Structure 1
Amino acid sequence: MESGGVLETRLIEIGRKRFADDVWGRTALLTRGASDFADLFSAAAVDELVSRRGLRTPFLRVAKGGTTFPDSSFTSPAGVGATISDQLDDTALWRKFSDGATLVLQALHRTWEPVSDFSSRLSTELGHPVQANAYITPPQNRGFDDHYDVHDVFVLQIEGTKRWIIHEPVHTDPLRDQPWTDRRSAVADAAKREAYIDTVLEPGDVLYLPRGWLHAAQAQGEVSIHLTLGIHSWTRYALAEQLAQAALAALCDDPEMRGTLPLGVDGPNGEIDVVRGRLAAALAEADTTALFHRTRRGQGRPAPLGPLAQLAAVEGLSPKSAVRLRDALEARLEGLRLSTRVGWLDFPEADLPSVMCALDGEVHSAGDLGVGLVERLLRAGVLVPVEQ
């Protein structure tokens, strides 16, 4: 994790090393007055997203009393030229909100630029994908019952106050396919015991919860808005899945493994030792590096790119043109091939020094890198122009 980034300057006070050694993935952490988050999100942002951005489901959920409302109860067509039926209906949402429902704005890392930029920076620092949701809860209301998430979260209190009750896990480090509903009774029993944390978050406070930690929250005497940054952690189990996938792919090229079992076979006993031996050998030789990075590239999108600005940069390209690597591209040069979130490119060996220079994230002139190479990378969406 990069020192001095948004983790240390906006979310925690104990320092990156201590957080990594003592807290990350291990225990809950409450940080009072971590930062002023007015630059990230606000009540005005909620109103704009709900009423003026033409959002559709699933960018919003509505919940009350621990259950979610059907999408059809708060969506409608928007008239001539916008007849798509699943657009948010601000009047319906106002009525549900005034009746005590919680609004959940989902995937804000795709719909609200300040949150998108923050999430992207945090993801780069942590090395794990980050998503962002906002929870807007009316006074004295509770959106969801005690539960746990299958990803870590940072809770950022934006406006109002909210009481959080935290209990230790009933199932440590749950995987994506191990939701709290599989342990509903154990969760309910644990929620009756003494809380690990019972506190009221105020604007600027941050609460970190590893996956599996039980939590429930209730707004106090005013509307509460908080951001949840969900960290979709890579796990050793995920690496094991990739290792098995690579080994099985290798066994496809083994004629003996493709062979038919004997006529009249009635069980695996006569063959399993051979299969186990071949599988173990394949696992020992499997290399999952390429699969890891391909999967990682698929877990996010690169920074926004303006088609018109990009066209202007190509048409006005000169040796003095300033360019830089597009953010969040997950670019990786392997041999003569550059793989990114926007595709791959092969280069002649003579271009490799300039390509490696372009990947350093600094600003470069087209003349230094080579105008022809820069044009190719601009057209591919790998480089972007730098405003002078």
Structure 2
Amino acid sequence: MNSSFDPYAYVLAALDGLGPEPLTGTVARHAPDGHRDAAAALLGGVWSALARPGALATNFRLVESGREIDRSRWMRSRVGDGEVLHTELVPAYLQSAVDRGATLVVSHLDALDGTVMMLREAVEYLLTARAWVNCYITAGTASAFDVHTDDHDALILQLAGRKRWEVDTRIGAGAADLAAGHLDTVLEPGTCLSVPRGTAHRVTGTGELTVHLTVGYEPFADAAAEARRLCTAGTGLPAADRTRLAGRLARRTERRHGVSLPGALTGELRDDARIRWASRFPPTVEHARDGLVITTMDRRFRLDGRLARTVGLLTAGAPLSWSQLCERSDLPAADVRSLVGFGIRHDFLICEG
């Protein structure tokens, strides 16, 4: 992963610039501070994934004029020792296909690159949403998919070249075509665009090699589905109650990518460690008379109330260096170290480095 790029900070800046509440469904574009550095870092993840598709080769599709090109033409695979799948792309065929207007689609790019995975995790944590990242690489001016709608919200991140986006003004209408006066914009590297679900849009190249990521996301998807099942069963959890839905997601056992292996094995915390909350979705923190009650990954912890500020820094979700955590905390460094050590042992904090 590119150590100089902070995916969490980039996603936070992008969401702030796209509007006060992306979940309300707005079409907007924004170029966050440092957007070109972010584009370069994420583009490095794309090239890395193309160099080693591995066992996730089925995540790759080559689409031309709305049809998929047979994978055997542009990908070679073999099973090696230990039944490990070795896969290589065929550069000459891919280049020819992309030059004539085909689009290489990499689904769930976050499963192939650590930097992109951290980007996806930041979106999930900040929007309390299930998210995934797809990549689109093309050249020329053709559109592989023409006008279409998606059944999920999306954040578009342009990484290389320029791409033209036409987006309907009738947000979420599920229209089959674009209305007069629709948004017509060209995205530059580092620029992002929000496209709500059910909104018609068309994407075309501008005659140059172009790469963009689509971060699809579904707010409260799992908890909302669970709520609907409970309501059908007569137990009555309102699907629109975000506080309750967030509480149910806090009990999910899913974690972010990463492990506190050095600290867990040695019991020591290095001064250059980077610390972040481990759960995929934010925890719930209740302030009780005798302290804090934290629910995360289907577990409950009761902590001293004096830890409230430090816990707040950690549960915000951003990775913090050890020095940053100590500077912003109102506790002595020894107490902060004890809290972090407790978090490592009980697996609700990830400490890397």
TM-score higher than 0.5: yes
For residues 23-46 of structure 1, give each alpha carbon's deviation from its aligned partner in whole angstroms, at most 9, with x where no partner exists: 75344223468731334322x543
- Pairing of 1:276-295 with structure 2 (within 5 A): 279=234, 282-283=235-236, 292-295=246-249
Q: Is the 8 A contact 2:260 2:350 kept in 1?
A: no
What is the distance in 1 between the residues matched to 2:95 and 2:73? 12
Q: 1:385 offset after TM fit, Å?
A: 4.0
Cα distance, 1:234 vs. partner? Answer: 3.7
Distance in 2 (CA, whole Å) between partners of 1:200 and 1:6 is 20
Separation (CA, whole Å) in 2 of partners of 1:321 and 1:199: 43
1:140 and 1:218 in contact (8 A); partners too: yes
Task: In structure 2, give the amino acid aligned to 1:359.
Answer: V
Partner of 1:9 in structure 2? 13
State the 1:384 CA deviation: 3.8
Q: Give the alignment's Cα RMSD to 1 decimal.
A: 4.4
Under a length normalisation based on structure 1, what TM-score does the superposition of the two structures give? Answer: 0.64
- Aligned 1:219-258 pairs, distance under 5 A: 219-234=205-220, 239=224, 241-247=225-231
Change (3 A) 1:359 1:27: closer
Deviation sequence 1:164-188 (CA, Å, 0-9, x none)? 222244853xxxxxxx7xxxxx51x
Check whether the contact 1:97–1:138 (CA below 8 A) recurs between aligned residues.
no
Matching residue's letter, 2:13? T
1:94-109 aligned at under 5 Å gives the runs 94-100=92-98, 101-109=102-110
- Alpha-carbon distance change, 97 to 12 in structure 1, aligned in 2, over 3 angstroms: farther
Aligned to 2:202: 216
Residue 347 of structure 2, aligned match among 372, 376, 381:
381
Matched residue, 1:175: none
After the TM superposition, which of the residue ranges 45-54 and 158-167 deviates more from structure 2? 45-54
Go from structure 1 to structure 2 and tell me whether the alpha carbon gap of 1:97 and 1:339 turns closer, same or farther (over 3 Å shift): farther
The partner residue of 2:277 within 308, 323, 326 is 326
Q: TM-score, with normalisation over the residues of structure 2?
A: 0.69
- 1:30 equivalent in structure 2: 29
SS at match of 2:258: coil
**For residues 1-388 of structure 1, what are the structure 2 equivalents within 5 Å?**
6=10, 9-10=13-14, 13=17, 19-20=19-20, 25-31=24-30, 35-36=35-36, 37-42=38-43, 44-52=44-52, 54=54, 56-69=56-69, 75-81=75-81, 83-85=83-85, 88-91=87-90, 94-100=92-98, 101-169=102-170, 172=173, 187=176, 190-191=177-178, 194=180, 196-234=182-220, 239=224, 241-247=225-231, 279=234, 282-283=235-236, 292-295=246-249, 298=252, 301-307=255-261, 309-314=262-267, 316=268, 324-329=275-280, 330-332=282-284, 339-341=295-297, 344=299, 353=305, 359-360=311-312, 361=314, 362=325, 368=335, 377-385=343-351
Corresponding letter in the other structure for 1:246: L
Amino acid at match of 1:381: D
Name which one, 1 or 2, has greater alpha-carbon Rg: 1
Is the Cα–Cα contact under 8 Å of residues 158 and 204 in structure 1 kept in the other structure? yes
Cα deviation for residue 223 of structure 1 reads 0.8
Contact 1:61/1:105, CA 8 A, preserved across alignment: yes
3-state SS of 1:158 partner: strand
In 2, the alpha carbon distance for the partners of 1:75 and 1:298 equals 38
Q: Which amino acid aligns with 2:283?
A: A
Any idea what the Cα deviations from partners look like across 1:38-58, whole Å, max 9, x if unmatched? 34322x543321123635144
Q: Whole-Å Cα distance in 2 between the matches of residues 110 and 131 of structure 1?
A: 9
8 Å contact kept, 1:123–1:129: yes
Distance 1:165 1:289, change over 3 A: closer
Structure 1 runs not aligned, ≥5 long? 173-179, 181-185, 250-278
Query: 3-state DSSP class of the match of 1:136?
Result: strand
Bigger drift between 157-166 and 195-204 goes to 195-204
C-alpha change, 1:366 and 1:378, in structure 2 (3 Å) is farther
Q: Distance in 2 between the 1:33 and 1:291 partners?
A: 30
SS in 1 for 2:48: helix
Structure 2 CA distance, aligned partners of 1:331 and 1:305? 18
After superposition, the Cα gap between the structure-2 partners of 1:67 and 1:123, relative to the gap in structure 1 and judged at 3 Å, is: same
Q: Which amino acid aligns with 1:151?
A: H
Determine which structure has the larger strand proportion and give its number.
2
Q: How many angstroms apart in 1 are the aligned matches of 2:253 and 2:95?
A: 33
- Measure how far apart 1:215 and its partner are: 1.2
Q: Which amino acid aligns with 2:296?
A: T
Three-state SS of the structure 2 residue aligned to 1:20 is coil
**Alpha-carbon contact 1:49-1:55 (below 8 Å) kept:** no
Distance 1:374-1:207 versus aligned 2 partners, 3 A rule:
closer
What amino acid sits opposite 1:143 in the alignment? A
Are the equivalent residues in 2 in contact too, given 1:133–1:229 (CA < 8 A)?
yes
Structure 1 residue 214, shift from structure 2 partner? 1.0
Q: Are the aligned partners of 2:227 and 2:237 in contact in 1 as well (CA < 8 Å)?
A: no
Question: Across the two proteins, how many residue pairs are aligned to each other?
Answer: 320
